[in-house]
């Protein structure tokens, strides 16, 4: 099984619909993140969580919300989807190690809003 699992892998939804993207991890990491990637661009941070009780907005949080249900689960919701939210969404975890750190990414969810 993958260390970071995202569901669904692909989703097409209509404008105005509410949609939830889910992420679960088996790394045992406290920190989890949601990123968005648009074609030809880097990743932009939407929300991040350093533990179950800690949720923070990232660079582009407008139009999104998150829920950290447990250490291993971090979901991203689009309350009312719009076409410009069409993108590839990645969940990631990170480990605050003794000598640096690193992100582990999921395989992504390709979301299309029509």
Partner 1 sequence: LAKTTQPISMDSYEGQEVNITCSHNNIATNDYITWYQQFPSQGPRFIIQGYKTKVTNEVASLFIPADRKSSTLSLPRVSLSDTAVYYCLVGDVDRDDKIIFGKGTRLHILP
- Contacts with partner 1 by CB under 8 A lie at 4, 31, 35, 40-45, 48, 56, 58, 88, 90, 92, 94, 96-97, 99-108, 110
Query: Nearer to partner 1 by C-beta: 13 or 50?
Result: 50
Query: Nearer to partner 1 by C-beta: 16 or 102?
Result: 102
> Which sign, positive or negative, has the C-alpha torsion 37, 96, 49, 22?
positive
Instruction: Give me Rg for the CA atoms of the chain.
Output: 13
Query: Nearer to partner 1 by C-beta: 84 or 98?
Result: 98
Alpha-carbon span 77 to 108, nearest angstrom: 15
Query: Nearer to partner 1 by C-beta: 40 or 53?
Result: 40
Alpha-carbon span 34 to 105, nearest angstrom: 10
Minimum Å gap between C-beta 106 and partner 1 is 6
Minimum Å gap between C-beta 16 and partner 1 is 27
**CB neighbours of residue 63 within 10 Å:** 14
109, 7 in Cβ contact below 8 A?
yes
Residues facing residue 70 across a β-bridge:
73
Minimum Å gap between C-beta 1 and partner 1 is 15
Minimum Å gap between C-beta 17 and partner 1 is 23
């Amino acid at each position: 099984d993958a260390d970071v699992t995202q569901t669904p892998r692909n989703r097409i939804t209509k404008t105005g619909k509410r949609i939830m993207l889910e992420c679960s991890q088996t790394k045992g990491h406290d920190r989890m993140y949601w990123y968005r990637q648009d074609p030809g661009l880097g990743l932009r941070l939407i929300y991040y969580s350093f533990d179950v009780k800690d949720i923070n907005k990232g660079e582009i949080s407008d139009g999104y919300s998150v829920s950290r249900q447990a250490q291993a689960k971090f979901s991203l919701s689009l309350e009312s989807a719009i076409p410009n939210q069409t993108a590839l969404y990645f969940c990631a975890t990170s480990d605050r190690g003794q000598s640096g750190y690193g992100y582990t990414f999921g395989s992504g969810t390709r979301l299309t809003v029509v």
